[in-house]
Amino acid sequence: MATNMEKLVIIGSGQAAIQLSASLRQKKYDGRITMIGEEPYLAYQRPPLSKAFLKGELEEGRLFLKPQKFYDDKDIELISGARVEKVDTANKAVTIGGGTSYSYDKLVFATGTRPRMIPELEGAENVQVMRTLDDAKALKTQVDKLNHVTIVGGGYIGLEAAAVLRKMGVAVDVLERMPRLLARVIGEEISDYFKNLHEANGVNIRLGAEVQAYQKDGNSIKGVELNDGTTSKTDLILVGIGVLPNQELAAEAGIEVGNGIIVDENCETSVSGIYAIGDNALRPLEGQSEKLRLESVPNAIDMAETAARHILGLERPAYDPPWFWSDQYDTKIQTVGLFSEHTETFVRGDVAAGKFSVFYFKSETFLAVDSVNDPQSFMACKNILKMGLRLTSEAVQDQSKTMMDIFKELKTQKV
């Protein structure tokens, strides 16, 4: 049982929230921990929702990050199905629907994000997003009755769902208004690879697709009219056009926000003793001139660990470069670093065979790598970035050595 009089309240009950709670208890924090979540579930994994869970390969119970026993044993009070309506920073209290208030000494926003929705599709009965367990359950129950799905948005969520739906025999159109897939998060070489991969699996990819109108039949959408005069007839529309940070509650409480709740290197907000972690937080990153908001499991874990250490008065954890992954068909892409400021790219491996990596440089500074079915290169580059080693473009282009060999050489040189 908690013995310290300090009270910590976490708004949110997802990956970042449970990681923070686990990290605090592991480090002997003995204050009270109260976690308030809007969903009626224990903290669960989101990445499998559009993949293994949708395919029926992963049961609901295996999605949960920790069993109820963990909350009981670690003395974590979980309040599920409750929405925080107000944060009173002057009196250090949060109020949930129904009027119940919880006082705090430390407060953490782990409120995550919500999907963007297209205004014209609000309320239509055959329009879905893919963010929560309930979203995945709703789509899963319909798959057997679907002949065609139109996915609006060519990002990771949409493409992962497209891959699963095609494997289940559903015809899929992907409508992306940008000139290439995944334009915000990866380079052109990888965009082209995934376009070819999906088309080879029967997905109809429409780039530069602007919607002119939605054809309605009662409260359902039966077709999508595009700017080139064609119409995509459909049974269901899956919207995957990005997310918005859940920051309104923080803003109303007078906490500084931008494209997310703004935090410092310790994950602390503009109000002392209040933190934000996970997808909703706009954070500084090593080597970046501007704060960024990252949407990934590793980011949630890293921020939770950082906040836990600051709450306990410990040093920040060692730098870990941002990394991401996605599974589509039999292809896994793993990314480490941020490519957005790159000026040059170099490709290693066999693109035709589907095992290669794309390296991103700014002049002679190594920024990031996208590895397709190439875990060795991914791990080598993750270590290179983490340790601050100097990888040159000449080394990357020397394919007589593996990337792991190159990493070991760089490590030896630094020592």
| Residues 240, 297: Cα–Cα separation, whole Å | 18
Same-domain pairing of 75 and 176: no
Q: Which residues contact 59 (CB under 8 A, 6 or more apart)?
A: none
Same-domain pairing of 210 and 122: yes
**Which amino acid type is present at position 210?**
E
Same-domain pairing of 200 and 226: yes
Across the chain, how many H-helices and E-strands are there? 11, 26
Predicted TM-score of the model (pTM): 0.94
Same-domain pairing of 30 and 65: yes
CATH number at residue 273: 3.50.50.60
Question: Is 316 in contact with 309 (CB distance < 8 Å)?
Answer: yes
**Spatial CA neighbour of 153 closest among 237, 213, 80:** 237
Same-domain pairing of 83 and 21: yes
- What Rg do the C-alpha atoms of the chain give, in angstroms? 23
2 lies in a domain?
A: no
User: How far, in Å, are 21, 34, 110, 284, 317 from residue 18 at the CA level?
Assistant: 5, 11, 10, 22, 18
**Spatial CA neighbour of 260 closest among 248, 271, 272:** 248
405 lies in a domain?
A: yes
Same-domain pairing of 292 and 397: no
Say what the alpha-carbon torsion angle 192, 198, 199, 205 is, to the nearest 10 degrees.
-80
CATH number at residue 344: 3.30.390.30
95 lies in a domain?
A: yes
| pLDDT per residue as tens digits for the range 127-167 | 999 999 999 999 999 999 999 999 999 999 999 999 999 99
Count of domains observed in the chain: 3
321 lies in a domain?
A: no
**Which amino acid type is present at position 387?**
M
Structural domain that includes position 285: 7-114+244-311
1 lies in a domain?
A: no
Same-domain pairing of 130 and 47: no
266 lies in a domain?
A: yes
| Residues 28, 19: Cα–Cα separation, whole Å | 14
Mapped onto helix, strand or coil, the DSSP state of residue 32 is strand
| Residues 269, 280: Cα–Cα separation, whole Å | 12
Final residue of a structural domain among 311, 339, 355? 311
Final residue of a structural domain among 241, 263, 282? 241
Q: What residue ranges of the chain have pLDDT lower than 70?
A: 1-4, 415
Final residue of a structural domain among 241, 271, 292? 241
Tokens 């003395």 belong to residue: 75
Q: What are phi and psi for residue 334, nearest 5 degrees?
A: -125, 130
Same-domain pairing of 109 and 147: no
> Taken in order 187, 190, 192, 194, is the CA torsion positive or negative?
negative
Distance of CA 56 to the CA centre of its chain: 22
Same-domain pairing of 143 and 200: yes
380 lies in a domain?
A: yes
**pLDDT for residue 1:** 41
| Residues 232, 213: Cα–Cα separation, whole Å | 11
Question: Is 92 in contact with 104 (CB distance < 8 Å)?
Answer: yes
Same-domain pairing of 267 and 374: no
Same-domain pairing of 136 and 103: no
Q: Which residues contact 11 (CB under 8 A, 6 or more apart)?
A: 36, 84, 87, 94, 107, 108, 109, 110, 111, 249
368 lies in a domain?
A: yes
Distance of CA 83 to the CA centre of its chain: 22
Same-domain pairing of 275 and 361: no
| Residues 62, 42: Cα–Cα separation, whole Å | 11
- Give 228-261 as a DSSP string: TS-EEE-SEEEE-S-EEE--HHHHHTT--EESEE
